[in-house]
Structure 1
Amino acid sequence: MLNAIEHTHHLTGKPAPAQGYLGLSFRQLLLAAFLLIAALLSGTSIHALFTLDRMAKNSRETARQAVQLTESAQRLAERTVAMERSARQYLVLDDPAFHDRFVEARDQARQALGELSDSLPMAPRDIFGQWGVYVDEAAAVLDSESRKDKSEQLKVFQDFARLPPLNERMAQESRREVDRRNNALSDALEQQRQMLTLQVVGAILLAVLLAFCFGLWLSRPLARLEHAISRLGDNRFDQHIDVRGPADIRRLGQQLDWLRQRLADLEAEKSRFLRHVSHELKTPLSALCEGAALLDDGVAGQLSDNQREIARILRQNTVSLQNQIEDLLRYNEVSFDAQRIHPVPVDLRALLHKVIDDQRLQWLARELKVEIEGAARTVVVDPEKMAIVLGNLLSNAVRFSPAGGFIRFLLSDVPGMVRVECIDQGPGVAPTDASRIFEPFYQGLNQPPGARRGNGIGLSVVREYVQAHSGKVYLVPREGGSHFRIELPDEK
């Protein structure tokens, strides 16, 4: 197969398609697209998990600091009460053990005070200084010999009386600091939530956009393949098939182009075969026709009635066989010629008038009326082939219309196309014939009485030429008469 492909490119003289898509196959590109989208979504998810983990750690740390602040404030208050109690007992009992308890409680209180000072950067610094001054003054009195003096003792009690308000202020500052940290944590959480929301929404939108772009990017070669196969199905072998895309799609396009050339060669061989067969058959058929005519004319001698009937039957059948061969050749030429159209802007109404005038003798002989409804309309078609299409529709309508009947051609516009409709008052198409009416050499059941049966290629020629113009022709169901509709692209 690969040798045949290389041979094809050698015959056409065209280079192989450009190596696009990084030389990857369709499946590899599809896998890469899925991996890219999965990596995008996975990266966003992992980032969200890390962010949530970090925020959880911050929340735990904030809670721990809040507990630590509360504990320090409570411990400071407790140690202050213990200092005051130990000091009072020492002043009354003068027992050194109480002094040692005072010193121990003071050290523990100072430690709690230091923790609060470090943890409350927003608190006024003077409250910590005042607390230390009052405690130092009380300790100095307790260490002096004048501690028995009532005035000195009163001074100690005053110093201790000033400590609870300071402890309460520090407790308030601790609560404010906890609230500030909680608010900061809440703001950070809200900010991270909004950021994560934007990231997730952005990742989803980007994933959808990537999926759409990849789908569009990868579907284009498939659309070209579908279009190429459709052209092959319509027997259009004159256009080179060049499908660009992944490596395996390009190879498939090359194989289709090789198939196109093979089909074109086979079509040409079929045409040559039909021409040769026609040439070989025409000579003996002409001899048979001539011999049957001579026998029927009595040139070889007088014939009896039975012999004359046999000669007449022989003559009719040879003429019929000759007509059928000529019809076959004519349809083959039409099929081949439909691949070569030369579209130009044409006034469709003027073309219809010309076709009707060309067949004026036929429809006047049957006392028919032919009219055109609709305004002038310019379409881009091959005027010669479109005249054959309209002429075949008119001759078909004339053949089946009753004497004195009416034939109408309707011109109209629909979005993106132009319609041409032919309506007659004949017997119409039998329901069993509707699906096969455009097949070559097919003749329906409703034949006009007394008329010679047609060759069955008129409507098939209509379909061939309309399809060559990228249009459509079909039979519209109708009671009483036939209704054919042609739709042509409106190329403005």
Structure 2
Amino acid sequence: MSNSTTLASKAHKRSLSIKSLSIKSLTLLGFGLVALPLVIALIFGASQVNTLAKKSASAITGITKILDQQQLLKSSQIKLERSAAQYLVLRDPALANSYNEQCKQILHLTEQLIVASQDQELQLLITEYAQTVMALIEQTMPEAEQKSPTDSTIIKPIQVKFSSLNATYEQITQRSGELSTLRITDIQQAAQAVRDIMIQSLVIIPISILVAAIFIFLITSPLKALTQIIFRLQQGHFNHEIKVIGSPEIQEIALALESMRTRLQALELQKSSFIRHISHELKTPLAAIREGTELLYDNSVGELNAEQQEISHIIKDSVFRLQKHIEDLLNFNIVLDSTSLQDSELMQVNDVVYQVIAERKLDIKRKKLTLNNNLSNISLYGNRKHLAVIIDNILSNAIKYSPDEGVIKISSSLVNEHLQLLIIDQGMGIAQENQEKIFDAFYQGPPPEKSLIKGSGLGLTIVKELILRLNGNIELLNEQSEQQGTKIKITLPRAFRQEEPV
């Protein structure tokens, strides 16, 4: 047990030591380990091919040389036979010289063939052929010279010897053909062996690919971890300590990110605390101011003249505007608070929509608006407060920009386990050049007619941020014309249809 633990510990330390190498060292090491087997296989293959080429060239040269010498031997034999017959009949000294020269050439060719053949059986046949030629020179021709040229039997012994030479030559030719076939077979077998070795060497390729994949993983996995960490920081999650095992360069980046995370976390806490504190401090006196203004405006403390009514109306609208800004600020603080995303629950979408409509009932009545609801029975898993903020901001904009006695349509549907919520108003729409800006923080479009109250420019920014954090999407479906009203589609995941109606 202790031995296995020790081995596992050593393997873990070895793995950590490899991971702790610099990116440059890892790259060079990986390149070396990948390239080395391929280079060895390439050199070995080239060596085998070179050996095969030399062997083939040597075999072809040897076969060609033997065939050429055999052709010369056959030609010299024919000339020798003709010279011998002519000399015995004519007894011309010139023919005798030609005969002797042919004999010397044949003996010289047999010596060359014996050296070139490198085969014992072929060498014996060539030796036998040479001995027959020697017998012809030393015995047969001298005996024939003693006979009269007119003797009819003078040519017969010569013909017998040359018949023997022809038979031996045929055996030499046959054996040479067999040797050529054997050498060609040897070359083919050698080529097949080289081919087999090259095919076996292909095993190195997947091994090299595997080694390359391992080193790519060692290099890229810390980078992917850093990418995920940066994405997490971008999403506002500052609670997890940053630790990455990797090369010194990676660890240096991780330390810098950890330092940045702690600073961002501290700033986030300070900012959230400040917003909560200042909002609370403003809401209390603001409520008293609004209540007092309402009493003045309703003539509860005495009749006001027209000028006083106008002043109280301005105060009332300003207080309402300030209260709306504070609410937007609190909602924006919800977006900045990443811990609020953890409060998910199962909810009925219809309940949330009707709750928001109820809270906006007075605004709807004031403008004599009509709400056409076509809501399906859909449940959603998410943060109820966030969904309410999303719907409230979209609906408040629809109410704000709708004309008096206008119509607002709200519908919901389930598409591939995603909630699709569509809100349509009959307002003036959004100009094409402004459609990409409406989700920017603090951007404010042109105010609606007869409205003196401006927004904070945070409403749609809050909506988009909350939807993105819920892994959803928001789309503006406006047509090119500005008179088509505003159509906004919200898509949220983790939704399903209820069996029973709400």
Q: Is TM > 0.5 for Structure 1 vs Structure 2?
A: yes
Task: Give the match for residue 435 of structure 1.
Answer: 436
The 8 Å contact of residues 423 and 481 in structure 1, kept in 2 or not, is answered as yes
The yes-or-no answer on 1:256 pairing with 2:257 is yes
The CA deviation string for residues 62-98 of structure 1, in whole angstroms up to 9 with x for no partner, is: 232123212432454366468768977699799x999
For the 8 Å contact 2:409–2:425, the answer to whether it is kept is yes
Q: Give the equivalent residue in structure 2 for 1:174.
A: 176
Match of 1:423 in 2: 424
Match of 1:351 among 349, 352, 359: 349
254-263 vs 270-279, greater mean Cα deviation: 270-279
Query: Where does residue 239 of structure 2 map in the other structure?
Result: 238
Closer/same/farther in 2, CA of residues 408 and 323 from structure 1, 3 Å limit:
closer
TM-score by length of 2: 0.70
Gaps of 5+ in 1: 1-17, 298-302
1:320-399 paired onto structure 2 within 5 Å: 323=323, 326-327=326-327, 329-342=329-342, 346=346, 350-360=348-358, 362=360, 365=365, 366-372=368-374, 379-399=380-400
Whether contact under 8 Å (2:73, 2:106) holds in the other structure is no
SS state at 1:425 partner: coil
2:465 alignment partner, SS class: helix
Give, as a single letter, the amino acid of the residue that structure 2 aligns with 1:482.
T
- The answer to whether structure 1 residue 73 and structure 2 residue 70 are counterparts is yes
How far residue 248 of structure 1 moved from its aligned partner, in angstroms, is: 1.3
Contact 2:66/2:117, CA 8 A, preserved across alignment: no
Structure-1 residue corresponding to 2:499: none
Report the alpha carbon displacement of residue 262 of structure 1 after superposing the two structures with TM.
Answer: 0.8
The Cα of 1:258 is off from its aligned counterpart by: 2.0
Distance 1:345 1:195, change over 3 A: farther
* Structure 1 residues 142 and 43: CA distance shift in structure 2, 3 A: same
Find the partner of 2:490 among 480, 486, 490.
486
For 1:420 and 1:315, locate their aligned partners in 2 and report how far apart those are by CA, in whole Å.
37
**How far has the Cα of 1:167 moved from its partner?**
2.0
Matched, 1:469 2:470: yes
- Equivalent residues of 1:84, 1:160 under 8 A apart: yes
Kept in 1, the 8 Å contact 2:424–2:486? The answer is yes
- Cα distance change on mapping 1:304 and 1:55 into 2, 3 Å: same
Give the aligned partner of residue 160 of structure 2. Answer: 158
Shift of 1:133: 6.9
Q: How does 1:202-281 map to 2 (within 5 A)?
A: 215=216, 218-277=219-278
Q: TM-score, structure 1 length as denominator?
A: 0.71
Equivalent-residue separation in structure 1 for 2:359 and 2:320 (angstroms): 26
SS of equivalent to 1:487 = strand
| Distance (whole Å) between structure 2 residues aligned to residue 71 and residue 432 of structure 1 | 93
Q: Does 1:25 align with 2:27?
A: no
What's the offset of the Cα at 1:280? Answer: 6.7
| Counterpart-to-counterpart distance in 1, 2:292 and 2:385 | 40
What's the % identity of the aligned pairs? 24
User: What secondary structure, in the 3-state scheme, does the structure 2 residue paired with 1:256 have?
Assistant: helix
Moved more, 211-220 or 475-484: 211-220
Contact 1:73 1:112 in 2 (8 A): no
Say whether the 8 Å CA contact 2:332–2:458 is kept in structure 1: no
CA distance in structure 2 between the partners assigned to 1:201 and 1:47 by the alignment: 12
Please report how far the alpha carbon of residue 405 of structure 1 lies from its aligned counterpart in structure 2 after TM superposition.
0.7
Q: 1:367 to 1:311 in 2, by over 3 A?
A: closer
Which residue pairs with 1:56 in the alignment?
53
- Tell me by how many angstroms 1:423 deviates: 2.4
Q: Which residue of 2 aligns with 1:14?
A: none
Q: Is the 8 A contact 1:397 1:407 kept in 2?
A: no
TM-superposed CA distance for 1:316, in Å, is 5.7
Letter in 1 for 2:438: I
Aligned residue pair count:
463
**1:138 to 1:386, Cα distance in 2 relative to 1, 3 A:** same
Residues 19 and 218, structure 2, Cα contact 8 Å, conserved in 1: no
CA distance in 2, matches of 1:411, 1:159: 114
For the 8 Å contact 2:20–2:245, the answer to whether it is kept is: no
Q: Is the 8 A contact 1:407 1:425 kept in 2?
A: no
Query: By how many angstroms is 1:261 displaced?
Result: 1.4
State the alpha-carbon separation in 2 of the partners of residues 203 and 477 from structure 1.
Answer: 60
User: Match for residue 409 of structure 2?
Assistant: 407
Q: Is the deviation greater in 392-401 or in 202-211?
A: 202-211
Distance 1:247 1:340, change over 3 A: farther
SS at match of 2:342: coil
2:111 corresponds in structure 1 to: 111
Which residue identity lines up with residue 269 of structure 1 in the other structure? Q
Tell me, yes or no, if the aligned pair for 1:430 and 1:445 is still in contact at 8 Å. Answer: no
Change (3 A) 1:255 1:355: same
SS in 2 for 1:408: strand
Give me the CA root mean square deviation: 5.1
Aligned counterparts of 1:214 and 1:467: Cα–Cα separation in 2:
35
Superposed, 1:5-24 pairs within 5 Å as: 19=16, 21-24=18-21
Return the offset for 1:241: 3.3
Whether contact under 8 Å (1:423, 1:484) holds in the other structure is yes
Aligned twin of 2:5: none
- Residue of structure 2 in register with 1:141 after alignment: 139
Deviation string 1:416-437 (CA, Å, 9 cap, x unpaired) is 9654332233322344542332
Checking the alignment, whether the CA contact within 8 Å between 1:58 and 1:185 is kept in structure 2 is yes
Conserved? CA contact 1:25–1:247, under 8 Å: yes
Relative to 1, partners in 2 of residues 1:476 and 1:208: Cα closer, same or farther, differing over 3 Å? farther
Once the two structures are superposed, residues 96-132 of structure 1 have per-residue CA deviations (whole angstroms, 9 ceiling, x without a partner) of 99999798567535524534763486x7x99658646
| Structure 1 contact 424–481 (Cα < 8 Å) conserved | yes
| Cα 1:106–1:230 shift into 2, 3 Å | closer
CA 129–138 in structure 1, closer or farther in 2 if over 3 Å, else same: same
Counterpart amino acid of residue 155 in structure 1: P
CA offset digits 1:261-281 (Å, max 9, x no partner): 110101112233345555776
Structure 1 residue identity aligned to 2:64: V
Structure 2 distance, partners of 1:433, 1:355, is 28
- Post-superposition shift, 1:49? 3.6
Residues 356-397 of structure 1: CA deviation (Å, up to 9, x unaligned): 2552474573342332356x5555422332233234333433
Aligned partner letter, 2:465: E
Asked if 1 retains the 8 angstrom alpha-carbon contact of 2:344 and 2:384, the reply is yes
Give, in whole Å, the separation in 2 of the partners of 1:147 and 1:167. Answer: 26
